[in-house]
Amino acid sequence: MSMPSVSEDKGEQKMELWFTERQTPDVGLTCRLTETLRFERTKYQELAIHQTKQFGRMLILDGTVQTTEFDEFFYHEMMAHPALFAHSDPRRVLIIGGGDGGVVREVVKHDSVESVELVEIDERVVAAGREFFPTISCGLTDPRVKVIIGDGIEHVRSAEGAYDVVIVDSTDPVGPAVGLFAVEFYRAVNRALRAGGILVAQTESPLFNRDILSHAVRSIRQAFANTRLYLGPVPTYPSGYWSYTMGLKSDVDPAQIIGDKPCPFATKYYTPEIGRAAFALPPFVRDLIS
């Protein structure tokens, strides 16, 4: 949602354009725009790319902020590195969603990874990422990466024992992403993972999306005996406080493994210490998922 406003500049009126994401019925994120770079209705959703003063370029799907140049590293690093470091030998990785390429960029930093499949249902998201977010989508050119335009749910159903790590970088559970929060999907991911495999999914805000989070964790627990939630900041996401949930096909403690592994490449947010601490949950979150 964009809305114009009028401000005073040395006695003259000047029109300003602002974008507001209604994160709840009572809370919104509002920022000033300098330019709209792209606006289109794809086969699946409304896609917009705005140039903002505070966050740089911003990708918006159906009125919801997906990523920005300013703070994308928080989310993409925490989606990728905890699971990749928790796995003993991650070679084949599947990413569902995340057509902007940010998670891919982080995954290919791991030398053990031999192949990455990115399954994105909306080809226009991939195209927009390549065109407008080169620092985010740069990993898509890595020779280990294969981009597949298709339905991630159907893709997982047809893959048994194929992957070491599956990362579900979904939008909110509306429209084409609804099925990515279902028990049946998580069970299919379990079958698609090799022995010792790991699922990680974004599971929304523990403050503003409590029902979605608790439902997602309950669903993942029905598919994986070892399920662990961890937290991290994402300034432009609802409440700025985000959750991720792992399902593991082993009985390992990911926090302990992560904390003992050094990070051999450059990051902006993730460190082994931050990775371990992310699994330390405050009481209100433990109560929410108990």
Asked if residues 73 and 269 have their Cβ atoms less than 8 Å apart, the reply is yes
Closest CA to 143 of 103, 104, 98: 104
Asked if residues 19 and 39 have their Cβ atoms less than 8 Å apart, the reply is no
Q: Of 164, 169, 211, 260, which is the active-site residue? A: 169
Asked if residues 76 and 55 have their Cβ atoms less than 8 Å apart, the reply is no
177 pLDDT more than 90: no
What SS3 string covers the chain?
Answer: CEEEEEEEECCEEEEEEEEEEEEECCEEEEEEEEEEEEEEECCCCEEEEEEECCCEEEEEECCEEEEECCCHHHHHHHHHHHHHHHCCCCCEEEEEECCCCHHHHHHCCCCCCCEEEEEECCHHHHHHHHHHCHHHHHHHHCCCEEEEECCHHHHHHCCCCCEEEEEEECCCCCHHHHHHHCHHHHHHHHHHEEEEEEEEEECCCCCCCHHHHHHHHHHHHHHCCEEEEEEEECCCCHHHEEEEEEEECCCCCHHHHHHHCCCCCCCCCCCHHHHHHCCCCCHHHHHHHC
- Has 169 been annotated as catalytic? yes
Asked if residues 97 and 152 have their Cβ atoms less than 8 Å apart, the reply is yes
Asked if residues 115 and 139 have their Cβ atoms less than 8 Å apart, the reply is no
Lowest mean pLDDT among 11-25, 126-140, 189-203, 232-246: 11-25
Pairing state between β 27-41 and 46-52: antiparallel
pTM of the model: 0.93
Tens digit of pLDDT for each residue in 80-134? 999 999 999 999 999 999 999 999 999 999 999 999 999 999 999 999 999 999 9
10 pLDDT more than 90: no
Confidence of residue 176 (pLDDT cuts 50, 70, 90): low
Tens digit of pLDDT for each residue in 144-156? 999 999 999 999 9
Task: Supply the pLDDT for residue 180.
Answer: 79
Residue type, 227: T
Q: Which domains does the chain have, with CATH numbers?
A: 2-66 (2.30.140.10), 72-289 (3.40.50.150)
* Percent of the chain whose predicted confidence (pLDDT) is above 90: 90
Phi, then psi, of 36 in degrees rounded to 5: -100, 115
